[in-house]
Amino acid sequence: MEHDNPESLRFEVLGLLRVIRTGQEVDLGAAKQRAVLAVLLLNRNTPVSRDHIITAVWGDAAPTSAVNLVQTYVAGLRRALEPRRARRAPAELLTSVGDGYLLRVERGALDLDVFESSAVEAGRMRAAGDLAGAAGLLDDGLALWRAEPLGGIAGLFAEVERGRLVERRFAVLEERAELRLALGQGADLVGQLTALVGDQPLRERAHGLLMRALCQADRQAEALAVYREARRVLIDELGVEPGPELRRVQMAVLAGDDPEPGRAAAPAAPPAPAAPVTPVGGTVPAQLPRAPASLIGRDAELRRMDELLADDPGGGLLLVVSGPAGVGKTALALHWAHRVRDAFPDGQLYVDLHGYDPNQDPLDAGEVLNRFLRTLGVQPNDAPVTVEERSALYRTLVADRRMVVMLDNVLGSTELLPLLPGSSSCVVVTSRRRLVGLVAHAEARLVELDMLTPDAAVEVLGRVAGRGAGADAAGLRRLAELCDGLPLALRIAAARLAVSPTLRVADFVAELDDEHGRLAALGLEDGEGPVRAALDASRRALPPLAARLLALVGLHPGTHVTPFVAAAMAAVDAGQAQRALDSLTAANLLSVGEPGRYGAHDLVRVYSKTLAGELASEERRDATGRMLDYYLHVADVADGLLPISRGSVRVEPKHRPTAVPKLESSADAIGWLEAEEANLLAVADLAADSSAPVFDREWLVHAWQLAYALSRFFWLRADHGTWLRVTESGLRAATELDEPKAKFVMLFNLGTALLRLRRNDEALVRHGQALDVARASGDLDQQARALTTVADTLLDVGRIEESEAHYREAIEVSRSAGSRWTEANAHHNLGLLYLANGRVAEAPTWLRAALVMYREVGEQCGESTCHSDLSVALLSEGHYEEAAVSARSALTLATDAASPYHQALAHDQLATVFDRQGVPGAVSHWQRALALFTELDAPEADQVRARLARTRAVSPTAV
């Protein structure tokens, strides 16, 4: 074996991922950075594209910043691997190549390479007759394995590679055992092989090696016990009998012969060639149905199937074509099977198992085997009785034959295992499920079908409908969208055009644009159309809870659901909901977008809405109410974690959910609100819609309280337009309820949103209305809040004296009410009034008083803004150092509060202070403020942009 230079880097993947330099472990950084290194190491000395790295590290859950993150991780790895490299010197080990990276690894520097070199050299020594030397080399190579490979690396990529490496280790362990057995050292191997069989009970070769080792130790009875256990496991787990090698060892032990292949007695004559299959009628079976005349939009899938076949030239390929109902699984499988049938000259077997046929029961394995055996020449009276015996005879008849076996419309993996030939034949399976059991136990290769691309869908419509070049291209594209790219729906729609030549595409599109029209035209409404029948069949195959949940999902107004809201709607625990969603995903009725978020294609969503409409009205009302309660409760919890004070509205849903996401910090809350924003808005609209077919007046409370719970989130995000829309809807609900507190909260928030949009006159009207409601109800706290906001608006429109009077009244009323936050806000804004109207010397006193009160009530955002305003006042008075300190405090508070808007305000003010002082740093802070304001689409961005341009015009080299 080769060893690296002790001064160079040594990479280790056969255990915990490590890099060693001169005996010391290198700090590889965060988990994702280590994952990037793992991808590069397993593709060492080969360029790896940035897209490949992103897919390997994040899979389908890549963040929008993935490209930047990869660049950051690569930079971190370069620092770790080449710490002495000058800052601007080019990297030598980890270099940029095109749109990716290349990691240079010296020969012998990676433990995996050393292991593989040992295995290759051992093979050469064995061929040369040096069995002991070969075994010793394998001992050295296996000693490099410290633990499970790629330790500490998570994700699907790591799991796949880990499985591949573990499989390689087992193969080398078996090869070493072969060498030791050939050297007569079987007695020493019994313990190792017993452990291997216990860890990998489905490895037939390991069982055979253990039997041979036991025979060398004169323990023949135990060897036969190993065979019996191996046979039991293979039948129970895979539904197959042991293979020829394991049976050969068993027969040798039973006969008292030496089971070692090299020492077995030579046959008197070479074995006769296997007898050819004698099918019924003496002809080669050709049972494949007619392939579709054309297959559109599946070139990528056909290439993948061709590549999988090319990678397995000896046969034994098992393909599972999976996808939702109507997506064209059978068409693709038949097209490909016909295309490759010349490579399988011994014929084709085909059976439709009717796994989803509503008009007949699915075929069981015994019946399918009967059909296959009759085709292969077995007379009915000669067929074995049990499924196991039929399966064994079937495998015997097709052994060493190259055939295509197509098993169409399979319901699950269990009934399929006895139908798999243990031979060089190719098996093609179609199913609406992914059949993960088959992938796990029989090494099936999965080919998943999704909807057709827009271009392919339009081509299907044009070809089937017979509409040529003069057809309405835009109309056909819209028609393809309405059919969701589902081949079955596309062909139904195209057939309608084909039999109605005078029907214009635009008129047909108008019919389908209406959801009710689409249901009728595509056969989703009456339960008898082909699309509805296909989806109904998929639903019937589901467990009861999953079938029920598919209907309940149709009540959800958004596009995605989570296990938590599903649990609330179905009144089950989160684990049950998760399993039901997994069943729907496995049946290709739902798909996973972001982790933990399940959605459906348009047609399945329409189907689920149809199912929801078929539920009893009481069940629909109860499930919708529980859904509203869930969103209101969690939104209220999230709102309470935001770094900004809120009012005293008590949120008390009727059905408090028991399964909710874990929210413990402001960042958790903002993350949940951002992920669920679209659903929350849709739910708020649903709660306010008293004209809906199913409605409960209590839902109006959800409508205004959801608007209330979301107000601070939209304020922090500076999303004033959305805030305005949802609050207007909440006000309508509060007005319909005629509940004073609800009306006050909605009017108050509506006025504040209008202020942020610079619609001051409208804001003044709304805040005046809120003040009238508060005075009518005698609520002092509400009066103080309304007085403050009315004063704010009067100040904005230049009515200074009225504004000051309202602020002072707000201070007195808030003291009487004991509302410290409202008193702080009034002090703060009174200080701003003085600052804006030339009474600068008076402003700091009011602002500092507000700071104390904000700190008392834990109002970080208010405290941050107040520090920024105090900095403005101090700067105006020429107190530069104090102004800088206050601006820095504002930035620290805003950062702790995770509020990008307040961070931007603080950066802007700190830049202004630096600019006035003439010290470096102003431009960088303005740049940061501009980036934050721009991302928030805040109007302040234009002001900061102007300041930056002015600064650069005066001093082009300013920083």
Rg (CA), the chain: 36
Residues 6+ apart with CB under 8 A from 927: 948
CB 621 within 8 A of CB 696: yes
Residues 6+ apart with CB under 8 A from 222: 214
Q: What is the pLDDT of residue 874?
A: 93
DSSP state, residue 651: P
Which amino acid is present at 433?
R
865-954: in CATH 1.25.40.10 = yes
Q: What is the C-alpha separation between 256 and 756, in angstroms, rounded?
A: 93
3-state secondary structure of 899: coil
Tell me the two tokens of residue 849.
Answer: 């008083």
Q: What is the C-alpha separation between 538 and 326, in angstroms, rounded?
A: 11
Place of tokens 């034994």: 316
pTM of the model as a whole: 0.51
Over the chain (959 residues), the average pLDDT of each successive run of 10 is 54 89 83 87 84 82 77 84 72 79 86 86 83 89 87 76 81 87 88 85 86 88 87 75 80 78 41 40 76 82 90 82 87 91 89 76 85 84 79 85 91 83 87 79 85 87 72 82 81 74 81 64 53 72 89 91 94 91 82 80 79 90 95 93 76 88 86 90 90 82 93 84 92 92 93 88 91 89 86 84 89 86 88 87 92 90 93 92 93 86 92 89 87 79 85 58
3-state secondary structure of 97: strand
Distances in Å between the Cα of 539 and the Cα atoms of 246, 608, 924 are 43, 10, 58
3-state secondary structure of 650: coil
DSSP assignments along 909-940, one per residue? HHHHHHHHHT-TTHHHHHHHHHHHHHHHT-TH
DSSP assignments along 107-143, one per residue? TT-BHHHHHHHHHHHHHHHHHTT-HHHHHHHHHHHHT
CB 937 within 8 A of CB 757: no
Q: What is the C-alpha separation between 467 and 11, in angstroms, rounded?
A: 62
3-state secondary structure of 37: helix
Closest C-alpha among 326, 334, 329, 339 to residue 350: 334
Q: What is the C-alpha separation between 105 and 111, in angstroms, rounded?
A: 11
Tell me the two tokens of residue 146.
Answer: 């410290």
CATH code matching the domain that covers 542-615, chosen among 3.10.580.10, 3.40.50.2000, 1.10.10.410, 1.10.10.10: 1.10.10.10
Which amino acid is present at 457?
A
3-state secondary structure of 378: coil
Q: What is the pLDDT of residue 277?
A: 42
Q: b vs e for 844-863, b when ≥16 Cβ sit within 10 Å of the residue's Cβ?
A: bebbebbbebbeeeebbbbb
**Does this chain's domain 542-615 share its CATH topology with 865-954?**
no
3-state secondary structure of 431: strand
The DSSP bridge partners found for residue 408 are 352
Q: Can you say how many angstroms the Cα of residue 816 is from the centroid of all Cα atoms in its chain?
A: 53
Tell me the two tokens of residue 862.
Answer: 């208010």
Instruction: State the pairing for strand pair 318-322/100-103.
Output: unpaired
Q: At the topology level of CATH, where does 639-851 sit? A: 1.25.40
Q: What is the pLDDT of residue 3?
A: 40
Q: What is the C-alpha separation between 375 and 398, in angstroms, rounded?
A: 11
Q: What is the C-alpha separation between 143 and 137, in angstroms, rounded?
A: 10
CA atoms within 13 A on the CB side of 931: 8
CB 730 within 8 A of CB 688: yes
Q: What is the C-alpha separation between 621 and 685, in angstroms, rounded?
A: 16
Residues 6+ apart with CB under 8 A from 635: 673, 676, 680, 706, 709, 710
Residues 6+ apart with CB under 8 A from 386: none
Residues 6+ apart with CB under 8 A from 640: 646, 669
DSSP assignments along 669-700, one per residue? HHHHHHHHHHHHHHHHHHHH-TTSSS--TTHH
CATH code for the part of the protein at 1-183: 1.10.10.10
The DSSP bridge partners found for residue 9 are 21
Q: What is the pLDDT of residue 521?
A: 59
Q: What is the C-alpha separation between 408 and 333, in angstroms, rounded?
A: 9
Q: What is the C-alpha separation between 632 and 138, in angstroms, rounded?
A: 63
Per-domain residue ranges of the chain: 1-183, 283-448, 454-521, 542-615, 639-851, 865-954
Q: What is the pLDDT of residue 268?
A: 32
- What is the SS3 string spanning 194-214? HHHHHHCCCCHHHHHHHHHHH
Q: What is the pLDDT of residue 628?
A: 95
The DSSP bridge partners found for residue 429 are 320, 407
Tell me the two tokens of residue 514.
Answer: 């209406």
CATH code for the part of the protein at 283-448: 3.40.50.300
